[in-house]
Amino acid sequence: MVATRGSTLSLKGRALKYLSAREHSRVELVRKLKPHAEDPAEIDRVLTDLESRGWLSAERFVESVVHRKAARFGVARIRGELNGHQLPDDAVRSALAALKDTELQRAQALWSRRYGQVADTPQQLAKQMRFLAGRGFSGDVIRQVVRGSSDAEDVNEA
């Protein structure tokens, strides 16, 4: 039987293949490489080498996640996702601090795309609030957004 290309890839080759598609955290790569390694120390050596060469970076991973998720999710939701990757606190904190400044604008844009008009009934209002809360936006931001676009614009101008 002829070995397929996928089965003959080294751990480093597999890691580079994953990293060429998108940024990954060290935790993700360990999970993905574990079935292909005989020794866990081997995975650690490969990932340490990739980090020393600058091919695996926690900071770049954080920036990538923030960039991909910022338009659809609030700070709380993005923080929850990043916390699952065992990343350095300072990298996560600095990326999320920048997001907090645009939280209201991002929530307003998301709400406008989804609903576009102020709720007429308490049930619709609750539905809109649950939607934004599920996306990780704070209660203050949600209240400002669902009150109406004119209120949110007044806050932006201040």
Residue-wise pLDDT for 106-135, tens only, equals 999 999 999 988 889 999 999 999 999 999
Provide the CATH topology of domain 9-56: Arc Repressor Mutant, subunit A (1.10.10)
Predicted confidence (pLDDT) per residue in 58-86, tens digit: 999 999 999 999 999 999 999 999 999 99
Quick one: CATH architecture of 58-101? Answer: Orthogonal Bundle (1.10)
- pLDDT above 60 (res 155): no
Long-range contacts of the stretch 53-61 (C-beta < 8 A, 24+): 55/16, 55/19, 56/15, 56/19, 56/24, 56/26, 56/29, 57/23, 58/25, 58/26, 58/87, 58/88, 58/91, 59/91, 60/23, 61/23, 61/24, 61/25, 61/85, 61/87
Could you say which of 1.25.40, 3.40.50, 1.10.3470, 1.10.10 is the CATH number of the domain covering 103-157?
1.10.10
Q: What's the pTM?
A: 0.79
